[in-house]
Structure 1
Amino acid sequence: MLHRRHLLQALGASALGAGLGVHSASVLAAPRAQDTRFLLVFLRGGYDCASLLVPTASSYYYETRPNIAIPRPGQEGGALPLTPDWGLHPALAESMLPLYQQRQLAFVPFAGTDDLSRSHFDTQDSIELGQPLGGRRDYRSGFLNRLVTEVNPRGDSTAAALQPMAFTSTLPLVLRGAVDVPNTVLSAGAGRGGVDARQAELIASMYRGTALATPVNEGFATRDEVARTMQGEMEAASRNALSTKGFEGTARRMARLMQSRYQIGFVDVGGWDTHVGQGAATGALANRLEELGRGLAGFADEMGPAWKSTVVVVISEFGRTFRENGNRGTDHGHGTVFWVLGGGVNGGRIAGEQQALTATTLFQNRDYPVLNDYRSVLGGLFARMYGLNAAALGRVFPGTKGSDLRLV
C-alpha cells in the first residue's frame, strides 16, 4: 500500500496534484482502501513535545528550562541525536529510535491547530471535528467518520467497505457521523506516576535532623498543595482516556483486531497535563513516554506483515509552554509535534515547515508556533493513502487543501 509505485496517468495525477498544491510527479498511485490500516492515537492533556523531540540546537531551550531540559546528546541522560537540530527523549531508545533508524518513523514539529483557546476541551473538540474555526460546530460529524464515508464504496453492495473501531469507553467526536462505528475498551489498567505519600515520608525521614530537613518537607508540602489544586483539571483533561500503564498490552490487542477486521482505529491516552513535577530524562513524563513508546512498538510488532500497510499518527490538542513554570512543569501551549509511523512510512526524518527556536520566534513569546496545520498534514496523508481528490478532501476537511509532506 505505502511503497512507491508507478506514477498516476497524467490526467489523474494533475487533478490530485492540483488539490494538494504539489507537482503531479510527486503523487503516487492510490492503493486499495482494504489494503490499508490507519490508527489515530490522541494524547489527551497536551503533552510536552519539547521533551519528546528535543531542540538540541536551541540554546534558548536550555536557558528557559534549567530544571527540566533534556541534556544535550553525549551528556548523561542526554537526548538521542536524530539530526544536527533535533534529538529524541532517551526513554524511547529501545522503542521509537529503532523505528526511526529503520526509516519507519517521522516527526512533524510545529504542528497543530489555529485554535487559541488553550482549553483542553475546546481544542480537543475542535481537532476531532476537523471543521473550520469560527463557524457553527456540527458535533455529529467528526473527520474520521467523514473519511470513512468518502473512502467506502457508494452504490456497490459487493465492494468491501472500511471497518472503523474506537478503542474507547464512549464514541469519540472524531468518529461520530453518518457511518455507524462501534467502540470497545481494551483496558490497560490504571496507574499514576510520581512519588506517592508513603515514598515521600520515607524520603523525608532520610533527611530528618539534617540541614536539608526543612527544605525537603517544604518541597513536598508545596508539591501536595499544587497537586490538590491541579488534580481536578488533570483528570478532566484526560476524558476517561487510557493510562499509559499497561498500554503495551492494550496496543497489542488493538493490533490483533486491526490486523484481522478493522481498517481504521482510534485510541486516546491520558495523563499528559504536566503542570507539576514533569521531570526531565527521568521522572513522571519520562515514564509515560517510555510506556507509550513500548506500546506503539508492541503494536508494530503485533501487526506482523500488515505493518507494511499500516500508518499510525500520534497527536495532542496542543503543546506546552517553551519555558518551565515555577513548579518544574509546563503550562498549556500552542504548537506540538506529531508522530507518523508505519512499515511504509517515509521516515527517518523531521518533516514539514520548521524554524529556529529563539526568544524572538516563539508564538506570543511563550509557545511553539503552528507552521503545519493539522488538517493540511492529515489531508495530504489521506490523499496519498486513499487516493482522495481535491473535492473528497474538501468534504473530509472543509475549507482546507492537503499539504503533501510525502509521509508515505
Structure 2
Amino acid sequence: MSPLLSRRLLLRALGLSGVGLAFAPTLSSRALAAPSSRRTLVTVFLRGGVDGLSLVPPVDDAAYHRARPTLALRRTGEGAALALSGPFGLHPRLEPLLPLWNEGRLAVLHGVGLPTPVRSHFDAQDFVESGTPGRKSTPDGWLNRALGVEESAAPLRAVALQATLPRALFGDAGALAMGRLEEFRLRVGRRGAEATRGFAALYAGAVDEALRTTGQGAFDALSQLDAEHLSRLPPTSGVEYPRGPLGQRLGDIARLIRGDVGLEVAATEMGGWDTHAAQGAATGTFANRCAELAGALSAFARDVGPLLERVTVVVLTEFGRTVRENGSRGTDHGVGSAMLVLGGGVKGGQVHGRFESLTPDRLQDGRDVPAWTDVRAPLAEVLRACRPGVDLTRVFPGFTPGAPLGLFA
C-alpha cells in the first residue's frame, strides 16, 4: 500500500463524503435479498416534537377549539381540515396523503408517547430511539435490535439516509448512514483514485477484525451501488419529489427498494417541528412542514408503486405539544402526539387508539394530550408485521404489549 494512503487519510475521506458507518464483525458473508416473508420497514422521525392536534385535529371537540382560539382548524369553511373518520380531520396541507387514506393504505394513531412525560428533546428522542424509556445507559437502538446479527446479510441491509447514524440503528447489526446516494464515494482530492483502489487492501490487512469488516462492508456497499447505478436511477415516470431534504432522502430510499438490494430497514428524519411561536393554522410554519412531509410521502408511495405492498412506513416523533396555545401563538413541549403508518398490509382509513375530549380534567398535568398509547406498542405491532418471529422481549426489554391496536389487516 502506498504511504500516501494512510488509515487517517482514508477515514478523513469517509468523513468528507458524508458517510457514517457501523458494521458488526459478523457481516463478512453477504446475501443479495431479504427473506421474502419480511417487509421493508422505513422510519421517518419528525424531530422537534410534532403537534399531533394540528396534524390530525379533533375538529369536533369543543374543548380543542376553546384551548386554541387562533390555532384550531375548523370542520368547514376556509382552511378547514380534511374530513377523516369520527371527530378527526387532516391538516389541509397534508392533502397529498388523502388518496392513501381513501385506499386504506394510511392509518393514524393518536395520543402516542412515552409512558412517563419527558419534555427535553434530547432525552425524549433518546428514549424513543433506544426503545427503553427512562434508561439512559442502553447502548443500542430498537431498530438495530430488531435486525439482529445475521451471518448472511446484504451490505445495504440497513441504511440511514441522513448525515449521521440515528440512535435507533446503533448496535451490533450492520448499518450505513449516508447523506445521499450520490455522496457515497471516497473523496480525497487528487488521491481519490488511489484511495478507491487501496480501500479493500487497507482494511483487509488490519489486525482488528471489527475494523477489517467495517472497511470491507463499506467497500461492498459502495461496489454494489456503483455496479447497479442506483444513485442515477430516475424516479418512476411522472413522479416528482418536493425540493428539500426529506424528498431527496425518500427518493433515495425508493431507489434502494426498486433496485432490490436486500434493504430491510431504512431510516430518515425531518426537522423543524418545534413550533413555540407563530405556528399558524391552515397556513404558516407548521403548514409548510406538513406540505413538505405529505409531498415527499406521496411521491415515495407512487415511486415504489406495487412494491409498496412489501413496504411499511412509520412516521413518528419524540413528543407532542401543549393543548392550549401559548401567548406567542405557538405551542410548547407536551406528551402525546400522532403517528402515521402507511404501506402494505396496513389497516388504513382509520384513526386507531384511544382518544378523549381535551377537557382539562382529562389531560396530562392539566395541559397535555396524555400518552394513552405507549410508543413501543405500535412499533411492536409494526415489527410483528414486517419481521415475523422477531423477539420483542429483546427489542423492547421490560415492555409487554397489550391488546393489538389493529394497525394491520
Q: Call closer, same or farther: CA 1:349–1:293 in 2, change over 3 Å.
A: same
Residues 364-375 of structure 1: pairs in structure 2 closer than 5 A = 364-375=365-376
Shift of 1:380: 2.1
Give the counterpart letter for 1:144 in structure 2. L
User: Secondary structure of 1:381's match?
Assistant: helix
> Which stretches in structure 2 are left out of the alignment for 5+ residues?
1-33, 183-241
Shift of 1:359: 2.4
Distance in structure 2 (CA, Å) of the matches to 1:266 and 1:105? 19
Instruction: Determine whether 1:177 maps to 2:171.
Output: yes
Instruction: Determine whether 1:245 maps to 2:236.
Output: no
Distance in structure 2 (CA, Å) of the matches to 1:244 and 1:331? 28
Give the counterpart letter for 1:287 in structure 2. N
Which position in structure 1 is the counterpart of 2:137? 137
Instruction: Determine whether 1:283 maps to 2:287.
Output: no
Distance in structure 2 (CA, Å) of the matches to 1:136 and 1:51? 31
Distance in structure 2 (CA, Å) of the matches to 1:146 and 1:33? 20
Distance in structure 2 (CA, Å) of the matches to 1:46 and 1:254? 24
The alignment's TM-score, normalised by the length of structure 1, stands at: 0.72
User: Secondary structure of 1:360's match?
Assistant: helix
CA contact (8 A) 1:115 1:123 kept: no
Give the counterpart letter for 2:176 in structure 1. P
Which position in structure 1 is the counterpart of 2:406? 406
Instruction: Determine whether 1:334 maps to 2:328.
Output: no
User: Secondary structure of 1:182's match?
Assistant: strand
Instruction: Determine whether 1:36 maps to 2:25.
Output: no
Equivalent of residue 71 in structure 2, options 68, 72, 82: 68
- Structure 1 vs Structure 2 CA RMSD: 2.2
Which position in structure 2 is the counterpart of 1:363? 364
Q: Call closer, same or farther: CA 1:325–1:132 in 2, change over 3 Å.
A: closer
Q: Percent identity?
A: 40
Shift of 1:386: 1.7
Q: Call closer, same or farther: CA 1:63–1:136 in 2, change over 3 Å.
A: closer
Residues 8-407 of structure 1: pairs in structure 2 closer than 5 A = 32=35, 35-72=38-75, 74-93=76-95, 95-133=96-134, 135=135, 137-138=137-138, 140-149=139-148, 153=150, 157=152, 163-186=157-180, 245=244, 247-260=246-259, 261=261, 262-388=263-389, 392-403=391-402, 404-407=404-407
Distance in structure 2 (CA, Å) of the matches to 1:293 and 1:335? 21
Q: Call closer, same or farther: CA 1:351–1:310 in 2, change over 3 Å.
A: same
User: Secondary structure of 2:314's match?
Assistant: strand
Distance in structure 1 (CA, Å) of the matches to 2:115 and 2:401? 16
Q: Call closer, same or farther: CA 1:354–1:274 in 2, change over 3 Å.
A: same
Distance in structure 2 (CA, Å) of the matches to 1:176 and 1:246? 22
Distance in structure 2 (CA, Å) of the matches to 1:244 and 1:316? 22
Q: Call closer, same or farther: CA 1:406–1:32 in 2, change over 3 Å.
A: farther
**Superposed CA offset, 1:33-65 (max 9, x none):** 564111011000001111110111210111111
Distance in structure 1 (CA, Å) of the matches to 2:272 and 2:385? 32
CA contact (8 A) 1:55 1:86 kept: yes
Give the counterpart letter for 2:87 in structure 1. D
**Superposed CA offset, 1:72-127 (max 9, x none):** 2x21111111123101111112x111111110000000101124230000100111
CA contact (8 A) 2:347 2:406 kept: yes
The alignment's TM-score, normalised by the length of structure 2, stands at: 0.72
CA contact (8 A) 1:258 1:265 kept: no
> Which stretches in structure 1 are left out of the alignment for 5+ residues?
1-30, 189-242
Shift of 1:175: 0.2
Distance in structure 2 (CA, Å) of the matches to 1:306 and 1:100? 18
Distance in structure 2 (CA, Å) of the matches to 1:96 and 1:334? 25
Which position in structure 2 is the counterpart of 1:24? none
Give the counterpart letter for 1:43 in structure 2. L
Shift of 1:161: 8.9
